[in-house]
Amino acid sequence: MPTGPLARVLESIENVTGTATRPAARLLAVGKSREAGEIASLAAEWAGLRPGATLAFGENYVQEASSKIAALEGSGIEWHLIGHLQSNKAVQAAALFDWVQSVDRPKLVAALASARNPDHPPLNVLIQVNVDGEAGKHGCTPDDVPSLAAAIAAEPTLALRGLMAIPEPHPDLARRRDAFAAMRALHDALRADHPDADVLSMGMSEDYALAIAEGATMVRIGTALFGPRQAA
């Protein structure tokens, strides 16, 4: 029976989600600073554990992801941009990625929509929310979600899929739970107007179980799969 990090993470996600009586949250593997070979090894392990299922993989930077995506062309990986996106990188991001999880302003919506090839499937988009109101952190305010959602939904080259947040990593887990619960309420309100926006991306290696219990449908896991992040 497989016992590697990926197998353990998948089993843990299923166990936690099962206690919440919902379908299992989707794993988004995260590989900042990881080489293409490491990602290829993970994809091979994934194929053995989840035959026929698509591995979702998240990258923080467009430029860093570009070479990895080229090296792993044909691997069947679904590529997600999870880091902050500058408007001047929107053309490249719209061509490279299947998902952009960090949309937080109208200018970026317009840039991605105009850059996405209309002959390709719509670019899946999540609205990033600064749920704790942290100074200097990217993400829109909760009050901005409805207008951003409407702008995304109006673009035929984009598909509004839901919300993403990176709550403050407060040592008091009750504080994190409050942030996750606030995101779930915001997501429920979004789905009332946009039923297909079914993704709530939140939770990382140290708190994904808590995030799932509060409604996460996708969790972003790096350290639990690869070990501590390597120095740049």
pTM higher than 0.85, yes or no?
A: yes
Secondary structure of residue 3 in the 3-state scheme: coil
pLDDT, tens only, 118-141: 999 999 999 999 999 998 899 999
Topology given in CATH for the domain delimited by 5-226 = TIM Barrel (3.20.20)
pLDDT, tens only, 176-212: 999 999 999 999 999 999 999 999 999 999 999 999 9
Domain ranges, ordered by start, for the chain: 5-226
Q: Which residues contact 90 (CB under 8 A, 6 or more apart)?
A: 108, 111, 112, 115
The one-letter amino acid at 54:
T
